[in-house]
Chain A
C-alpha cells in the first residue's frame, strides 16, 4: 500500500460552518438567547418600572410624568410606612428563626444518623411543594373555628379556654405569617448548610478532640468559621427572598386585618394590578431596590471573601 496516495475524506467546511467556527460570531450566537431574554424581560422592565414610578400610569393607558409625586404621596401614606416597617420586621424575625432552626437541623443531620438520605429527602418537601398550596394548608390550620392548634391547646390540653383568633388581630396574624415563613424556609437553609458542613474535614474535629476541646469549642472554633462563607451566601439569598416575599402573605391574609400584614410586595400588587394604579405600584416596588442593591453588594463581597479564603484564582 502506498500511504502517500491516501487522501482524507473530509468534506470541506462550507461557509456557514466556517462562520460558526469564527469565535466572536459563535460567542455572539451563544450568548444571544440568554442575554436577549434577560434584556427584554428583566433589564428593560426594571428600567420601565423605575420610569413608571415617576408617572401616574394606569392600566391600559399612558400616564404622564409626575416627578417625585408618587414617592411624596407614599411618604405620607401610613399604610405604606407600616408595610415598610413590617417588611423589615418580618424579614429580620423570619431570617433569625430560619437560620437558628435550619442550622440546628443541619447539625442534627450531620451527625451519623440512620436513614440519613431518606430524612434529607423528606425534609426538602416544604421547599419543593408550591408555596401557595402549603400556604392554603396553613390558612386552614389558622382557621378561627376549626384550627387544629386551637383544638389541641383548648380541648385536649385545656391550657386556654378560648380558641385562638390567628388571623383576625394584627399581631397574631403577623406571628402566624412569620411561623409559616420559617416553616417554608427551614429546608433550604438546612440542606445548603448541611452541604457546607459536609465539606469540613472530620480530621479537624478529631484533632480538636484529642486536644480536649468541648463540643461548644468545636462548634465555635471549627464549624462556625468554616461554615461562614456558605452561610453568608445562603443568608443573602434568604434575606432577599424573604424581603420580597409575596405568596405566603397574599395566600394567608391578603394583607389584612386592616392592612396590618401588607408587605411592600403585596401592597405594590394591590395598588398596581387590581386597583390599576401602575405608577403607584411601581413606586412601591422601586422603593425596595435600595435594599436589594445593598444585599447584592453584600453577596458579591461574601463571594469574593470566600475565593480569597480558598486561595483560588479569579475564575
Chain B
C-alpha cells in the first residue's frame, strides 16, 4: 500500500466513518467529494424513482387541453387544475365497486393466510416434530412456484369448483403465495420468543393451545402485523389471477379494472387512466406510510431467514 499517500488516507478517514467527530474537521475537498459521489447520485435516484408517481399526479389534475398540448403549456406543471378526471372515474365507472371488491378480497385472503400461517409456523417452530424442518422447507419451496405457471390449471380448478368470476376464487388462491411468505416470517418471529416462557406455562398446567393464545401470539404481535400488512399489500397488488379468474366488470379488482375497463378502443383517456392509477395506488401508499418500519423489517426479515 505504498502508493497511497498519507493525505489521501487522512481525507478518507475524515470523509468516511469518523465524520461524527465533527464536520468542522472536514476539509473543503472531502466535502465536495462527498457531495459529488453521495448526494448527487442519491438525488438522481430519488428523482427517477419518484418521477412516474409525480407524472401520474400531474396528469390526473390536468384538463384535456393542457394534457395534449406541450407547446403552449409547461407539461411539468398544471396551470388550471381540474377534478374532472377524478369525477369521471368515480361517477362514470364502477370504481367504487372495484374498490370494495379489492378490499374484500385483500382482507379475506389476508385473514385466511395469517390464520393458516400462524398455526403452521407454531407447529413447525414450537411443537417440533420429526421432519418439521422438511415441512418448513417444503413451504418455503412453495414460495418459489410463481403464479405465472399456475394460473392456467388453477383457472380450471376454479371453474370446476364453480367459483369462476367470484371473489372467493381470489380469496382461496391468493394464499398460495401468501402462506409461504407469512409462515416463514412467523417462524422467524417465533424463534425470537424465549422458549422458557412456554415451558413455564406448561409446568403451570396450560394446554398447548392456551400457550399459543395467551403467550406466544401476544408476544408475536409485531410479527403478525408485519405479515398482515405485507399479505394485504400483495393481495391488493395481485394481477394475473384476478385477470384470469374474473370476467364481469363489477367483480374486477382495482388493478385489473383500471387496465381493462378504462382502455377502450384506440383513444386512451390518459387523464382518467392516470386518475385511476393514482387512486388505485393511494390506499396502499397511505397504508404503507403508517407501517413503513414493519414493511422494511418484513422485507428484510423474509430474505434473511
Q: Interface on A for B, CB 8 Å cutoff?
A: 10, 13, 17, 20-21, 23-24, 26-27, 29-35, 37-38, 40-42, 44-46, 48-49, 52, 57, 59-60, 101, 104-105, 108-109, 111-113, 117, 119-126, 128-134, 136-138, 140-141, 143, 145-146, 148, 151, 155, 183, 186-188, 191-192, 194-196, 202, 205-206, 209, 211-215, 230, 233-234, 237, 240-241, 244-247, 250-251, 264-265, 268-269, 272-273, 278, 281-282, 285-286, 288-289, 292, 295-296, 299, 314-315
Contact = CB atoms under 8 A, between A and B. Distances in A.
Nearest to B289: A121
Nearest to B236: A130
Main secondary structure on B side of the interface with A: helix
Interface in B34-59: 38-39, 41-42, 45-46, 48-50, 52-53, 55-56, 59
A36 to B, nearest CB: 8
7 contacts: A105-B45, A125-B50, A134-B53, A155-B71, A195-B300, A233-B303, A268-B149
A240 B149 CA distance: 12
B120 A130 contact: no
Given A21-B207, A48-B153, A195 B277 contact: no
Nearest to A212: B1
A46 B153 contact: yes
Given A31-B135, A205-B17, A41 B154 contact: yes
Interface of B: 1, 4, 9, 12-13, 16-17, 19-20, 38-39, 41-42, 45-46, 48-50, 52-53, 55-56, 59, 67-68, 70-71, 75-76, 112, 115-117, 119-120, 122-124, 127, 129, 133, 135, 139, 141-142, 144-157, 159, 172-173, 175-176, 179-180, 183, 205, 207-209, 233, 236-237, 239-240, 243-244, 254-256, 258-259, 270, 273-274, 276-277, 280-281, 284-285, 288-289, 292, 295-296, 299-300, 303-304
Given A41-B175, A124-B296, A195-B303, 4 more contacts: A31-B135, A45-B157, A128-B288, A215-B12
Contacts of B9: 209, 212
Contacts of A292: 144-146, 149
A250 B242 CA distance: 13
Contact of B152 (A191, A211, A237, A278): A278
A37 B277 contact: no
Contact of B153 (A23, A192, A282): A282
B8 to A, nearest CB: 8
Given A120-B296, A240-B146, A214 B304 contact: no
Nearest to A145: B68
Question: Which applies to chain A's interface (DSSP): helix, strand, loop or mixed?
Answer: helix
A24 B128 CA distance: 10
B259 A136 contact: yes
Looking at A31, A134, A213, A268, the one whose CB has the most chain B CB atoms below 10 A away is A31
Given A128-B284, A278-B152, A282-B153, A234 B295 contact: no
Contacts of A264: 148
Given A37-B172, A125-B50, A191-B300, A272 B152 contact: yes
A192 to B, nearest CB: 5
Q: Which 4 A-B pairs rank lowest in CB-CB distance, beginning with the nearest?
A: A195-B300, A34-B120, A30-B123, A33-B116
B89 to A, nearest CB: 13
Contacts, number: 305
A314 B208 contact: no
Given A31-B119, A108-B38, A273-B244, A136 B70 contact: no
Most buried by A among B56, B156, B173, B276: B156
Nearest to B301: A195
A177 to B, nearest CB: 14
Nearest to B151: A269
A262 to B, nearest CB: 13
Contacts of A42: 142, 145, 150, 176
Contacts of B276: 133, 136
A49 B117 contact: no
A120 B157 CA distance: 41
B150 A46 contact: yes
Contacts of A299: 144
Contact of A119 (B42, B133, B205): B42
A57 to B, nearest CB: 8
A180 B72 CA distance: 29
B26 to A, nearest CB: 12
A315 to B, nearest CB: 7
